[in-house]
Structure 1
Amino acid sequence: MPARLQIKPDDCSPLGRYILHYLKEQGISMNRLAELSGVPQPRLRGACFKGTCPTPETLRKLARVMEKHHLELYTLAYEGRVENLPGDADDISLDLLIRELFETARELGLAVPRVRPSKTKIRKALLALGFYNKTSEDIRTYS
């Protein structure tokens, strides 16, 4: 049984809370996660706290071990730091959208593309999801 963590969830960023949940779910210690990921334990511990900025390399290493895409951990690490979101972005944030895309892909057994899709392919996918070209009339409606 892993040693009891001294980090309190209230002191953690969303990434930190996810790491604590992962440790509990896997029944491993933070030292073991640090060992498996190749992230020094002090850096891993530090990444858990509010206001910290884990490096992209730390997030990539953790993502491999945790079987997540590093962008999912990135959105957790930087959640709430995007300021001045448009007024119509109340429930629709980029972080939530990215997480939903990855979660759906995982549920469907899909892997992340090896090559970045072209703008044309992305546009077709967005149109298929219900996005549409805004007209000046649409803009006035939402203003």
Structure 2
Amino acid sequence: MPARLQIKAEDCSPLGRFILQYLEEQGISMNRLADLSGVPQPRLRGACFKGTCPTPETLRKLARVMGKHHLELYTLAYEARIEKLPEDADDTSLDILMRDLFETARELRLAVPKVRPSKAKIRKALLELGFSEENDECA
């Protein structure tokens, strides 16, 4: 059983809560995650708190060990810094869409493309997902 964490979830950013959940699910300590990822333990601990700015390198190292894409962790780390949507906006925010895309790709065991898809391919995929031209009437 890993040592009891002294970090409280309410003091953590979304990334920090995700890391705490990962530690609990894996039954490992923060020191062990630091060793596995190559991130110094003080830096890993600091990345958990609200208002911190973990480096992209830290996020890439953690993502590799945690089996996530680093952009997923980046989204969690910087969620509070992303401009809030208007109250009347529905659940189509970029953040939710990105998480769903990565979650689906992971479930389907798809790797991130090595080359960025062309705008034409992205447009075609978006239209197939149900996006429509802005001037089209919504049904």
Q: TM-score, length-normalised on structure 1?
A: 0.90
Deviation of the 1:55 alpha carbon: 0.6
Describe the SS at the equivalent of 1:89.
coil
User: Take 2:84 and 2:8, find their aligned partners in 1: how far apart are those partners?
Assistant: 29
User: Matched residues in 2 for 1:35 and 1:84: separation?
Assistant: 35
Per-residue CA shift, 1:67-87, capped at 9, x if unaligned? 000000011111132225356
> Partners in 2 of 1:27 and 1:84 — Cα distance?
34
The 1-side partners of 2:60 and 2:98 are apart by 16
Q: Which residue of 2 aligns with 1:65?
A: 65
Q: Which runs of 5+ in 1 are unaligned?
A: none
Corresponding position of 2:21:
21
Quote the offset at 1:124 in angstroms: 0.6
Aligned partners of 1:11 and 1:89: how far apart in 2?
Answer: 28
Report the counterpart of residue 37 of structure 2 in structure 1: 37
- Output the CA distance in 1 between the equivalents of 2:126 and 2:90: 20
- Counterpart code for 1:57: E
Q: Give 5+ residue unaligned stretches, structure 2.
A: none
Structure 2 residue 125 is the aligned partner of structure 1 residue 128: no
Deviates more, 1:20-29 or 1:84-93: 84-93
User: Distance in 2 between the 1:89 and 1:97 partners?
Assistant: 14
Instruction: State the SS of the aligned residue for 1:80.
Output: helix
**2 CA distance for matches of 1:34 and 1:94?**
30
Change (3 A) 1:80 1:28: same
Counterpart of 1:48, as a letter, is C
Letter in 1 for 2:4: R
Tell me which residue corresponds to 2:5: 5
SS in 1 for 2:80: coil
The corresponding residue for 1:77 is: 77
User: Residue 123 of structure 1 aligns to which amino acid in structure 2?
Assistant: R
- Percent identical pairs in the alignment equals 81
Aligned letter for 2:46?
Answer: G
CA–CA separation in structure 1 for the residues paired with 2:89 and 2:57: 30
Q: Which residue of 2 aligns with 1:119?
A: 119
Question: Aligned equivalents of 1:18 and 1:51: distance in 2?
Answer: 15
